[in-house]
Amino acid sequence: MTPDALAAELADVRRTLDRLDDRLGQLTGLLLEQVVTSEARTDDAATRHQRVVVDVSRQTQALLQLLDLVEVARPLPPLGGWAASADFLLHLVQHVVDTRPAVVLECGSGSTTLLLALAIRTHGLPTRVVSLDHDAWFAEQTRRRLEEHGVADLADVRLAPLVPTGLPDHPTPWYDVAALPPVADLPPAGVLVVDGPPEVTGRLARWPALPLLRDRLAPGCTVLLDDLGRADEQAAAAAWLDAEPGAHFESVELLKGLGVLTLP
């Protein structure tokens, strides 16, 4: 091979090596990108997992405390999801045991109604529970649970279909208040539980509770609003507070969020 031919081939090899070097740099960059992205994904999954572990452990702790507070001889319905979570039930029951109201009014029957009735029996409370439900099947389910637990006489579940409210600029229907006992037969409520109607019924589904039941609430009444984690419930609570300047509002960090409004 002549020196010229050797030099030409060497130059060729050098160019090939340069191209390979560039490609190696590109591939290393791509690989690094993928490693970083997958580590970030792993971090997200780990954070989500950690949050679930904390939520489960808090609900377990709340349920254990609830079972210390209330005698339960039969299986409870599944808690959480559509039903109130254990931490909300614990807060509700503890408040009712501490304050012994004459009447608890409730929007949305279910596990809340059952736990209230069991608390009344366990602690001999002088409390009457009146619970509204817009759905005949769910109202009947709650009544059956109360019967199974032997506390059917301690909570009054009333079917209250959703009807137009007559409130200005509020097209979402709400419970028919005609389903409540007459004012003369029901003392003002010391506690109002707002856990219905479901949000699928329309915008600001729970806001009418205060304007429509205001004349049924005792001075100093505590309004417990479940699901404060949702934007509609936050808006409802803000509107209530606006309409009740003397009221006090507290947000309690529970699984689904709890708003506590104390009326003047």
Ligand X SMILES: C[S@@+](CC[C@H](N)C(=O)[O-])C[C@H]1O[C@@H](n2cnc3c(N)ncnc32)[C@H](O)[C@@H]1O
- Using CA atoms, how far apart are residues 211 and 203, in angstroms rounded to an integer? 16
Which residues inside 136-155 make contact with ligand X, applying CB under 6 A?
138
Residue 127 binds to ligand X (criterion: CB under 6 A): no
Considering CB under 6 A, how many residues would be counted as binding ligand X? 15
Closer residue to ligand X, CB minimum distance, 87 or 135: 135
Q: Residue 184 has which token pair?
A: 């003369």
Partners of residue 107 on adjacent β-strands: 132, 194
- Using CA atoms, how far apart are residues 24 and 261, in angstroms rounded to an integer? 65
Closer residue to ligand X, CB minimum distance, 133 or 156: 133
Closer residue to ligand X, CB minimum distance, 73 or 200: 200
Quick one: which segment of 4-12, 28-36, 76-84, 91-99 binds ligand X (CB under 6 A)?
Answer: 76-84
Angle at the Cα of 119 from the Cα atoms of 100 and 225, rounded to 5 degrees: 70
DSSP-derived secondary structure for 147-171: HHTT-GGGEEEEE--EE----TT--
Residue 198 binds to ligand X (criterion: CB under 6 A): yes
Residue 160 binds to ligand X (criterion: CB under 6 A): no
Residue type at position 245: P
Residue 110 binds to ligand X (criterion: CB under 6 A): yes
Q: Residue 75 has which token pair?
A: 């299986």
In the list 59, 111, 165, 222, the residue contacting ligand X (rule: CB under 6 A) is 111
Residue 195 binds to ligand X (criterion: CB under 6 A): yes
